[in-house]
Amino acid sequence: MITPFSMFDAFLSYLHFEKRFSLHTIEAYSSDLNQFCNFLEIESEKEILTVNPISIRSWVVEMVDNKMSNRSVNRKLATLRTYFKWLQKEGKIEASPLQKINGPKNEKRLPVFVREADMDEQKTTPLFTSDFDGQRDQLMFELFYQTGVRLSELIELKEKNIHSEHIKVLGKRNKERVIPISNKLFTQIEGFTKNKKQLNINTENLFVLSSGKKLYPQFVYRRINHYLSHATNLEKNSPHVLRHTFATHMLNRGSGLETLKDLLGHASLAATQVYTHNSFAQLTSIYSHAHPRGQKS
């Protein structure tokens, strides 16, 4: 008997090989689909193919009642939409049961970022040890802050894609982009790669564990969380906070939105515009201090 779970496996293979989704995204899709099946107690192919809008709305109500954020609910609905569109494409169903399903409105959240003063090198450098782990962690920290790369992009960064003036990263949907780097950062990268060779760690990926094994997302998250929690008073400390910090500081220093969009690897300008809220707060502060009539009495 074909179970919904064997169908999920075929769907997840489609996401991996045809859509080129990251492993992190595929794991999230798998979790969402399994949660949906568990809620409706679905155990067969026939049951998944006969899901109706009422069943989906009941799942949404259940998630909202359990205090799940609107953003998380909408992400899970997006998983279902993609799955049922795939079933349509495969000729398994005629129409998606999500056609008339609307998720709750997302809460407007401004990106959390670190103040420039807290990112001063004199404050951050003492956080790291001088051994291999400390050198690697400091370089990870600097690459997140100085280039705005995503966690998955940092983990997959290859030594061959590092050049004296830029790095090449493979972003979402396998889109390659070039990000400039400073001479100082390139020198730091060179020092780290030399240290790897001296320790007989020969890998194509720039960042690895001291054992030579590839990094994994939870490890990177824990390390960055550790250092940021010592550098800031923010409640949230993650690699993505450093990406937000890169974007906000770039805008505060005069970067245009189009340039920032390309550097971040956003598909549309709308995703980048969220940072203008933080930047506007900075501009307001500068105006109130700099313009003769902008000063508050």
Catalytic residue among 29, 145, 227, 275: 275
Of 51, 224, 202, nearest to 151 by C-alpha is: 224
* Alpha-helical segments (H) within the chain: 4-17, 23-40, 45-49, 53-65, 70-89, 121-124, 132-147, 151-155, 183-198, 217-231, 239-252, 257-264, 269-272, 275-290
Catalytic residue among 76, 150, 196, 249: 150
* Whole-number Cα distances in Å, 136 to 90, 119, 172, 200: 46, 18, 24, 15
| Token digits of residue 227 | 């250092």
* 199 alpha-carbon distance from chain centroid: 31
DSSP character at residue 208: B
Catalytic residue among 76, 136, 243, 261: 243
In angstroms, the CA 233 to CA 92 distance is 52
CB contact set of 216 (below 8 Å; sequence gap of 6+): 155
Catalytic residue among 172, 177, 214, 223: 172
| Token digits of residue 113 | 């970022």
DSSP reduced 3-state for 170: strand
Handedness of CA 206, 209, 212, 216 (dihedral sign): negative
Catalytic residue among 57, 158, 214, 240: 240
Please confirm, yes or no, whether 275 is among the known catalytic residues. yes
Please confirm, yes or no, whether 266 is among the known catalytic residues. yes
Burial readout 236-261 (b: 16 or more C-beta within 10 A, e: otherwise): ebbbbbbbbbbbbbbbbeeeeeeebb
Paired with 208 in beta bridges are: 214
Please confirm, yes or no, whether 291 is among the known catalytic residues. no
Which amino acids are annotated catalytic? Answer: 150, 172, 240, 243, 266, 275
